[in-house]
Amino acid sequence: MTSGELSVPTRRKMELVDITRLINEHVQNSTVEEGFCFLFNPHTTAGLTINEGADPAVQEDIIAGMQKIVPMQYPFKHLEGNSAAHIMSSLIGCSLNLMIENGQIVLGTWQRIFFCEFDGPRSRRLQWRITENS
């Protein structure tokens, strides 16, 4: 088992940051040929997802869809003013489990791993753990 933390800087209030290359580097640097890569985001206003990475319009559509689902201007009670980001984080989720086969993360042809920022810009961190099949 190997684990660590990586930094994910964000530049906009809301954005999806493609972290596939960063995660693949850790998997390839491990000795695990068959196993799992667990990702955990310890932030309550951000999430993790897998989705299409070929067309950047999909990422923009995901953000626009989230803004349509969760009203940005609503009389939320949370005093920090970022309740919408908390709700979006809960809808997307804070962790991912990825299969590793032949020393590579298993993803579909168009799939990429995204860190979802809903309350940026910020300097975020992400925890990862790579385990071998027993």
Mean pLDDT per block of 10 residues along the chain (134 residues) reads 96 98 96 97 98 97 97 91 96 98 97 98 98 88
Print the domain residue range for 50.
2-132
Q: What is the dihedral of CA 90, 64, 62, 56, to 10 degrees?
A: -140
- We report the CATH number of the domain holding residue 51 as 2.60.120.460
In residues, how long is the chain? 134
Helix axes 83-92, 56-69, angle to 10 degrees: 120
Identify the pLDDT of residue 73: 87
Of all helices (H) and strands (E), which one includes residue 59? helix 56-69
Rounded Cα distance between 77 and 85, Å, is: 13
pTM score of the predicted model: 0.96
Q: Name which of 12, 49, 32, 35 is nearest 126 in CA terms.
A: 49
Identify the pLDDT of residue 16: 98
Domain count, the chain: 1
